[in-house]
Structure 1
Amino acid sequence: MRLILIDHEAAFVTRVRQLVRRINGVEAVDEVPDLAELRRYAQAYPDAELVGLVSITMAARGIIKEFVQHCPQVPLVAIGGNDPDRMRAALGEGARAYVRRSDVADELANALDVVRDGGVFVPPVVAMRPGGEPLMTVAGPVPAGFFREDAGKQLTPRQREILSMIRTGRSNLEIAEALDLTVGTVKIHITAIFKALGVRNRTQAMVAADWLDLPAIDPVATQA
């Protein structure tokens, strides 16, 4: 595996180079100025196993999606801060992992393992409020997790419908009323959805729904 870095901070690049020396399977680390150059690099070496590490501050809206459309064989690891919205945006455009800049030493190796396994790495940032304030629940902090690209194929049409509503932040009661189901039935479906996706909470399920690009379903429209 060859890592291709896109980052503006020399000290961070040096830190990553030092980290990957301890990660099995990484042969080399190269740098390119932007995703357009990474695309040319990938086209020049079509048989190389490449993974792009791109700072989200250097990837304008839509750029990751455009790159993934042209180079789907090159997984991207987005590097950013404790910002759930930016994380969801990067994963929604097709990045295969999101690693927090401040915790790259703890998260990068895990992210690369998950990406190699065909999954999508979601760090504990999903349990943070905007601004980085920790969100503690009765279950404690949400651990890192991932879901597989083909997870959506395991869902029934009804489960995909419910997941779409979870994506919009609807409660179990709102979903039940919109679909003319009992709350208990909705909970059973949600348990099955979490198991199929390999996620542990609604926020991770929302990230999965973004990745699967499920249409947002409005319960009011559904009732009509």
Structure 2
Amino acid sequence: MSRALIIDGYELFRISLREILSATGQFDKIDEVASSGDFISAVTNDAPATLAVIHPCSIGLNESECLRLFRRVMPDAHIVVFRDKDTAETPTPPDKNITILPRDANSTDVRDAALGAYSRTGKQMGTAAPLSKYKGMGRWDQRSATEHLSKRQREIMAMVAEGMANKEIAHRIGIAEGTVKAHIHAVFRALGVNNRTQAVVRYGSALRHSGY
């Protein structure tokens, strides 16, 4: 079984990464880790992972410590590390099974790293999702995308990322359901997307670019 492990302290990022990895069709199971405590448990107690996608800083861990632990318990796993631009880390030792990506890497970069990791395990590659699936989900004016969203729209996007329906969002923040719908469609226009899933993926990528 091919298992992918997403280790990131930010829910929107985990959602966007899950969407990208799921679209490849190469992983039987995708698990998420949101804290340092869960990280230790997932690495030491669960089944070995084919791929681990890690942003150590977001769960309060040192990159080198994360990699050392992974190498002890999952020596064959491929690791994709998201590194913040302002993070001063000791250079990662040469390792063909470690890929370093900037925190603001676009969806195609992440997809390619995941597929490269899968192929290096020696497994038979299936049919990957075509790049057309990612059309419009790569680089764009990410800073502008988030700056053009109001505080209310960002608040609503956080709840959309949690899987809440418009009615639930309206009840939580005390506005009409129609107003929620209008805000969401405004977000679609600002982000250049057509549905909620694309909005969550793109908004998560924009937040990565902004360094949140």
TM-score for the superposition, normalised by structure 2? 0.44
Question: Which has the bigger relative contact order, CA under 8 A and spacing at least 6?
Answer: 2
Structure with larger Rg: 1
TM-score for the superposition, normalised by structure 1? 0.42
